[in-house]
A and B are shown apart, each in its own frame.
Chain A
Amino acid sequence: ETGVTQTPRHLVMGMTNKKSLKCEQHLGHNAMYWYKQSAKKPLELMFVYSLEERVENNSVPSRFSPECPNSSHLFLHLHTLQPEDSALYLCASSQGDGAGKTQYFGPGTRLLVL
């Protein structure tokens, strides 16, 4: 049981493809996050949206493009990815973006770039 869902759960794409990852939260939160989890590396924060505005862009290459159409949905658009972008992409949400706010995570999309 989770309040944050992500689709697809698994994705294989070529370097010339364009795909999108979707995240939906059912918790009534107003802040959403994208994280990247690579093998043998700590989780890396990619983007933060608060009240549907992007408030953090953590030096992420432009081949990753986030979109937050409303407070319940978050997308990550992918194009011309590299094999090193293969990772688990996790979405999270919180009620507010303050430091003490707990982030709740989705199950992730496991991405393989060939």
Chain B
Amino acid sequence: AQKVTQAQTEISVVEKEDVTLDCVYETRDTTYYLFWYKQPPSGELVFLIRRNSFDEQNEISGRYSWNFQKSTSSFNFTITASQVVDSAVYFCALRRGSNDYKLSFGAGTTVTVRA
């Protein structure tokens, strides 16, 4: 069975601080895909990144960076120099590399950035 754990329920930071969101996953598959989505107060889930299980290369996109470590089954997300607009709920998700349509989401981490 697939499971995604986001242990941090809420994180509050002051603008310009860095914030790291933890994501730990469980799967028996050797091929799988990991995702991060952002959900601002408007409700829409905004796609941020996709990673397949064979690509452990870390990625940086502007102020966002992701650290994928298969050895610890983690796919952590860091926002550098946070801004108020980063305030949202962030979800980590896992999908099997087979004919399984289910995208297993974590419970989400609410990030509040204070001015």
Contact = CB atoms under 8 A, between A and B. Distances in A.
Interface string B9-38: 000000000000000000000011101010
Interface residues of B, number: 28
Given A43-B91, A58-B102, A100-B52, A105 B96 contact: no
Interface of B: 31-33, 35, 37, 42-47, 50, 52, 91, 95-108
A48 interface: yes
Interface in A39-76: 42-43, 45, 48, 55-56, 58
B31 A99 contact: yes
What range describes how many residues of A lie at the interface? 20 to 34
Interface stretch (A15-23, A77-85, A106-114): A106-114
A92 B35 CA distance: 14
